[in-house]
Amino acid sequence: MPKLSLRRVLTYLAVTGFSTILFILVLNNIYWHDTNRTLISKELHDVISPSSYRYILNQPDLCEKKRPYLVLMIPVTLREIEARTAIRKTWGHESLTSGVTVLRLFVIGRPVQNDPTLQQQLERESKEYGDIVQMDFVDTYHNLTIKTMMTMNWIAIYCQRARYALKIDADNFLNVPYLVNYLHAKGESLREDYISGSVIRDGHPNRNSHSKWFLSEDIYPDTSYPTYVSGAAYVFSTDLALKISLASRFVQPVPLEDVYVGLCLRELGVKPVYATCFLRLRNLFEVRKMKYDRCTFASRITVNGFKPQELLYIWHDFQNARFTC
């Protein structure tokens, strides 16, 4: 009998459903802490399951060809052309690190209203840059959990050979060399069950129905969230992509993608690690916007809250940080 590749097994998983999930759980030695775990209904899981949607654009062989150390997964919408352009010219440029390969991928759904002109533009981008992954779920804020699960599923099927993945929003500044050096310095201890970023340990559901982050008691009855990492940016070992995908079969969807990942991590018994510099006790994944300062930014992995033109403006100056900071 020929040896099955992980990609074939996972493709089979998507087609055959829960019986194969059980097989994969055993295959990967994922054991739940409580044998009374309850599966969510198939109807509910289908909402967030990537198998419910089809690829419009894909890059299935990219990781096989380039064998990346780190893959940057950037959720954007179809209309964010300016953001994609700025990222390609700044921190998403794939020549920023020597000795390791870093890949860039934009993760996209479809707009609420179809726009053939924008879709054609995206297809031209995909052909030119080879960095677009698109599925046919509706790309809205409340569907970010679907987008995140699509990202995890894509890594699990197509990019398990990468050592790490970084999920990062398009409005971030990213110091790629610092991140790569940080991961190298941690060494082999981060090979499995590792996820790091700005860790939130005291989160509570917002019950204000007018809030962007509203979560009703019907959807989430608990009064607090498990520990999770801010969705602005977090880095993780790629083995977690498969495990989070599998854990989603046991976790009711919520429209807050970072909280949802935290719920999946709790099922897996995985604890996020706060990314800090112990000498100065600074947060390396800044979730607040900071006024640009070359040397301050040289000592961070991410800083949140930049428009594309701002990113382009500071990037030219930031290139001098390695000589002056």
Q: CA separation (Å) from 105 to 202, 282, 319?
A: 32, 29, 23
Measured CA to CA, the distance from residue 24 to residue 32 in angstroms comes to: 13
- Predicted pLDDT of residue 283: 87
Show the tokens assigned to 202.
């005291």
Question: How is 194-240 classified by DSSP, letter by letter?
Answer: -EEEEEESS---B--TTSTTB--TTT---SSPPPEEEEEEEEEETHH
Query: Which residues in the chain land under pLDDT 50?
Result: 1-35
Specify the residue for token string 């099922």. Answer: 267
Count the alpha carbons within 13 Å of 94 in the hemisphere toward its beta carbon: 15
Q: CA separation (Å) from 295 to 180, 300, 303?
A: 18, 9, 13
Q: pTM of the full predicted structure?
A: 0.88
For the chain, list the domains and their CATH numbers. 35-324 (3.90.550.50)
The answer to whether the CB of 89 falls within 8 A of the CB of 170 is no
- Predicted pLDDT of residue 8: 46
Tell me the longest C-alpha to C-alpha distance in the chain.
60
